Structure 1
Amino acid sequence: MTGDGAWVPILVLWCALSIDRLLGEPPARLHPVVWMGRYLSWAGRRIAPADHAPHGGPATRFLAGALAWAAGACIVLWVAWAGQRLLEPLTPWIAVPLAGTLLKPMLAWRMLASEVQAVEQGLAVSLDVGRERLGRLVSRDVSGLDEHGVRESAIESLAENLSDSVVAPLFWFVLAGLPGAALYRFANTADAMWGYRGARGGRNWEWAGKFAARADDVLSWVPARVTALLLALADRRWIIGLHSQARRTPSPNGGWPMAAMAMLLGVRLGKPGVYLLNESGRLPAKADTTRALRLAGVAVVLSALAGSLALWASDATTDAAMTLPMPR
């Protein structure tokens, strides 16, 4: 897909988003992220000791986790690179839909929006149903949350995953094509499965998952801040004090889209005993979930437009550089 100008990757980007909107997620047996998860689950059982077993030295566990992460990343990069190379000789009218199909599993806007809507629909039935739906969206214990707590968690997850599941994959696709998007999805999945402090699932991840957590932090640093900017643009106003609010979360990145969403909605969002964003805001109501989904949807479109502009500008800059007269 090289040599055809910027319009080919631009069409691939929009094709992937269109497939996501129309069809949603592919079957689990065909989903690349499911395959990544299977590898990470298999490798995780070998790098993270059982919680009751001797943990070994921190350096040993950290190195094992880093090597297992790197091995998986190499496989993902090679498969994505090979897929992209196989499409390059094809005519764009064949390559674009095929590449869009390959890019689509790296992002998941329709599924994210549907899951957040399902939480609100569950709350309309009962608190227990709302909690049950939220449990499919977040990894935290939801059993003690009241209605407002369930809604807070759903809006937080929407904001954070807007970055992880849409903006960041598109960002890395613009920079590095299919391999870039695939590598980011692998890193984000590894962080979700390995990036815990202490024990989880009967295994100790304190050192075994540290490299995965840091790799995701690095790859998500710019997209998280871009997501906050996109949300502000979606609401057509600047967010004063965003930086100080975003720093309140343990994550160096998650606080940016969550704080932006909290301040734009005028609500408070938090995790009991961990952080509280926009503490002067009101408790979120049903209308806030609806508005949050609208803002996130506009941000998705803006991210695609920004990515298209970046691809066009990069191609134009390259063409201009190639036409400059060579010095004698």
Structure 2
Amino acid sequence: MHTVAVLALDQVVPFDLAAPIDTFNWARLPDGRAPYRVRVCSVAEEVRAGPFTVRAPYGLEALAEADTIILPGTYTDQLDPLPPGVAEALCEAAASGTRIASICVGAFIFAATGLLDGHRATTHWIAAADLAAMYPRVTVDPNVLYVDNGQFLTSAGAAAAMDMCLHMIRKDYGAAVAAHAARMSVMPLEREGGQAQFIVHAQPPAPAGATLEPLLHWLEENAERDLTLDDIAAHAGTSARTLGRRFREQTGTTPLQWLHRARVRRAQHLLENTDHPVERVAHQAGFGSPTAFRDRFKRVVGISPQAYRRAFRTRGATPTVARALAPGSSGAPIGHRP
């Protein structure tokens, strides 16, 4: 089981503390097991968290046992030195290969260790200039939701923490596990913004009671067909104009844009879980040609299909697991929240 240690220092930001705990706890493997064990640790047994106090059951020794360490932000002055032992424990964990990620102004804690020197990083936009000024050896990018350097990750403020956590879940256990955690968190796996990130481009679920839900399922099941707006409207039994209006109201996008994303999502699944050549993936996902597929995929995901496969190929996946993880599958026994 993958152990996540969340380091709660004094005056920890409550949302920064809670977001990774909740997001990782939502994750479920196809057989229903929880893939993560989340531990809250600190230098003191109790720490202030704004309007309340948090009791941390683990000390800094938990960092040495973790596979991933999360650094939430704090309300303290970022010029204050780190508590004794924190920088040393984080550097020792990093030297052993532990993944470390910061949330919001937790980037200041991260940067104070020296581990971010020479790396690109982000933080809350309002603190980006201060981070760059205090740590000139860190390349600060305020225009992204998060930055993944491999072993070290940083995220922007508030909900960007969830974007980053979902990204880590998908890297660890695949797109379907991350998609389930996103649905349970009522969080899309992709949000609009100027981020350069490798995240799964799954469709957000339709709102409860949405009249278009059957049509969305039909589109996903028929994404490989050469569908026009008129074809979709005919299946829905309405005019193209009325369909467009309802789509905007219920999904925030157009029918064809939704279809394109469904095709990209199918392609992501095939690239992650099969060895099919890109040309075959293009055909199976519903693209008219490999060239059109590569162009659309890179425009939406930010990298080429081959680069995506190298980064996110599901290692050791069997055909049965691949079917269980298929987009829209109802057979994955993902389970309920713990």
TM-score, length-scaled by structure 2:
0.26
**Larger relative CO (CA 8 A, sep 6+): 1 or 2?**
1
Tell me which protein shows more helix as a share of its residues.
1
Tell me which protein shows more strand as a share of its residues.
2
TM-score, length-scaled by structure 1:
0.27
